[in-house]
Chain A
Amino acid sequence: MTLNVEDLYVSAKNGKDILNGVSFTLPDGGVHVIMGPNGSGKSTLALTLAGSPDFVVKSGKVEFDGVDLLSLGPDQRAKKGLFLAFQKQVEIPGVPLKDMIWEAYRVRWSGSGRPSIIDFRKNLSATASTLSFPETFLERGVNEGFSGGEGKKSEVLQMLMLKPKLAILDEVDSGLDVDSLRVVADAIKRFVEDGHSALIITHHFDLLNYIEPDVVYVMKGGKIVDEGDITLARIIEREGYSRWGGEQAGRDD
């Protein structure tokens, strides 16, 4: 998997500019982190990559494994191996989480070699248990009445089961207690060790106590303004984002 974002300009439906020329490249595998203050455009970037109808791409290019991602619908992007763990969970009442995950797996991986529904369910239960995600929640409607923490785990569970090439995790760490943060971090580590890529979007350092990122990008004012390794994240933890210029008005995400 490679992701190549080139000079991406994106605005909200109301015309307000949010991304002002984002460029970066993710090589295959590894943990990549985008950090930035509220309103820097991180979530917009994540949603745009997943194909959200709420944003308009004005210009720029996104290549995912050599394919023009922006020409594809959200479902086609998922089928190519892109996954977004949503910051804000969406409820699908009445559709049990376990059924949704199974059917998503089925549409994603057709053909032979697919596990039976029984094996899949066993694996789902086992995976949920590694996340300390209660079995009973699998029976509930997708994200129906989930707390913030349960919702995040639901997203991570889906990621683990659907096995995308690249998972974008949008503030998957917010609202998690220390124990949950650790199990989620462990899950992401396992995911990456299995050869998948993760792009973690966050404005906290906490998660990085458990996962060493390969690359850290800093985003501000709708642009990638810096790039480094874990030391960059440590600087942000200590000093905030002031070294990349004063407070900028931006979309509150």
Chain B
Amino acid sequence: MKEKDILDGEASRLEGMTELKHLNEEVVTSLSREKGEPDWMLKKRLYSLSVFESKPIPTWGVDLSGLKLDDLAYYVKPDVEKVDSLSDLPADLKKTFDALGIPEAERNFLAGNGIMYQSEVIYERMKDRLAKQGVIFMSMDEAVKKHPDLVQKYFMTRCVPPTYHKFAALNGAIWSGGTFLYVPKGVKVSMPVQVYYLVDHPSMGQFEHTVIVAEDDASVEYIEGCSAPMYVKGGLHAGIMEIFVGKRARVRVTTIQNWSKNIYNLVTKRAIVEEEGKMEWVEASLGSKVTMLYPASVLAGRGARAEHFYVSMAGDGQVLDTGAKIVHAAPDTSAYVLSRSISKGSGRAIYRGQVRVNPGATGCSSSVKCDSLLISDESSTATFPTEEVYEPDADVSHEATAGRIAEEQLFYLMSRGFSEEEARGLIVRGFMEPVTKKIPLEYAVEFNKIVEAEVKNGVA
């Protein structure tokens, strides 16, 4: 079957873009064939589709009634061929980068890494050094073909199976793009590996699927940024990230999310951490209409550790529902969660987290701290912690605070010459600092700028 036959050719801004509209077995099969995938992947897709169809849209937590799954484009083929250097990127895309305010430093970083434009990785140059170390870093589509055995071992198996939830299943059926990053035993990757996702099509779905494997004693840091210009119709981002942290290995994942404010951002992130391994999640959330983001750390081996750092800014009309899911499945495991959120206008930033200490997991500790700052009278926040503890010696704590900017802080800074807006911006920046200091500087500067601008707008 020819590509054009199955693709609905709705007029789009960029020539050559096509969409899949009506999701069914035939469409999924065609997508898989088009990509030249092995049979096991097609089977996985079809199984995922059946799970997707059997599961209702979740009704707990955030209202998703505005999400119209039938109206989405499921796959958009980029109209630009893969390029070898940043200067080869189409001028259009470079302009988009400028408009989105992607910092220069970040673009320079991108010169050695991958950009995911729409659904496929269009720009990718593996660092020679990475290759020499035996590190595999490529798009998931490519990895399925080049490293089928490795991918089959990790792709939607024990970390995020299709049955995990409805949107995980949807991703399993129609995933496209994403990163496969494999770090062999004992290899330490010194430079962060970075990827940029851009949704640049009206009403498009983004379903990338990323798998990161750090074998025993390996270490790697992965940074992804996401953004989308605003379109009239909303979109859906339902990506998946599966992470395997080997014994004594260390993985840090940083996501800076700035989707346009009509995108439903329903992502699934889960890490399995083996003995003495350490997983760090850093999540900076700015954009989207609705975000449901609960990175999970399954502490599967003795002494495994997890750290989750979140910062989010919910502006007018946004609901950012984030939290950490910690499973202490082995003894002597520990977790630390710090969440700092800001709600402005009618925005609502929520912390929804879960800590579970399994039977037999003795000597565990979990500390969860979430602090919320309310910028306006109508903004709101909430905290929904759940704890399930089956070992009496577990040290599980949860602290939450919510407050407003103190008058005396404003006066103090204004007495130094800052306008009220500037003073608010500084106070908010300081509030976020324990998390933003975990983000690479170029991103943190940009992030602070955006939040400060939001805060200034919000207090007329």
A residues bordering B, Cβ < 8 Å?
50-54, 73-75, 77-79, 83-84, 86, 90-95, 100, 103-104, 107-108, 141-142, 158, 162
Contact B429 A78 (CB under 8 A): no
Chain B nearest CB from A172 CB (Å) reads 15
Decide: A158 and B416 in contact? CB cutoff 8 A. Answer: yes
Inter-chain contact A90/B412, CB cutoff 8 Å? yes
CA of A84 to CA of B408 in the docked complex: distance in angstroms?
Answer: 14
Do B418 and A103 touch across chains, with their CB atoms under 8 A apart? yes
The 8 Å CB contact of A90, one of B408, B420, B431, B433, is B408
A83 cross-chain contacts in B, Cβ below 8 A? 415
Question: Given A92-B426, A94-B429, A107-B422, are A162 and B412 also a contact pair (CB < 8 Å)?
Answer: no
Taking a contact as CB atoms under 8 Å apart, the answer to whether A94 and B407 are in contact is no
A51 touches B414 (CB 8 A): yes
Q: Closest CB of chain B to A75's CB: distance in Å?
A: 4
Q: Of all chain B residues, which has the CB nearest A106?
A: B417
A100:B426 contact, CB within 8 angstroms: yes
Q: Does B109 count as interface, using CB distance less than 8 angstroms? A: no
- In the assembly, what is the distance between CA of A107 and CA of B426, in Å? 13
As a 0/1 sequence over residues 385 to 410 of chain B, the CB contacts with chain A under 8 angstroms (1 = contact) are: 00000000000000000000001110
Give every chain A residue within 8 A of B384 (Cβ-Cβ). none
Please tell me the number of chain B residues within 8 Å of chain A, measured between CB atoms. Answer: 23
Let me know if A95 and B429 touch, CB within 8 A: yes
Q: Is the beta-carbon distance between A74 and B433 smaller than 8 angstroms?
A: no
Asked if A74 and B414 sit within 8 Å, CB to CB, the answer is yes
> Residue B152 at the A interface, CB < 8 A?
no
- In angstroms, Cα B414 to Cα A108, docked, is 11
Given contacts A100-B426, A103-B426, A141-B430, contact A92 B413 (CB under 8 A): yes
Asked whether any CB of chain A lies closer than 8 Å to the CB of B86, the reply is no
Residues of B within 8 A of A94 (CB): 429-434
For the complex, give the distance between the alpha carbons of A83 and B413 in Å. 11
**Given the complex of chains A and B, what is the CA–CA distance between A199 and B259 in angstroms?**
53
Chain A residues with CB under 8 A of B431: 93-94
- A142: chain B residues within 8 A (beta carbon): 430
B434 to chain A, nearest CB (A): 7
Q: Are A75 and B417 in contact (CB under 8 A)?
A: yes
Instruction: State whether A73 touches B429 (Cβ < 8 A).
Output: no
Report the Cα distance A108→B422, complex, angstroms: 13
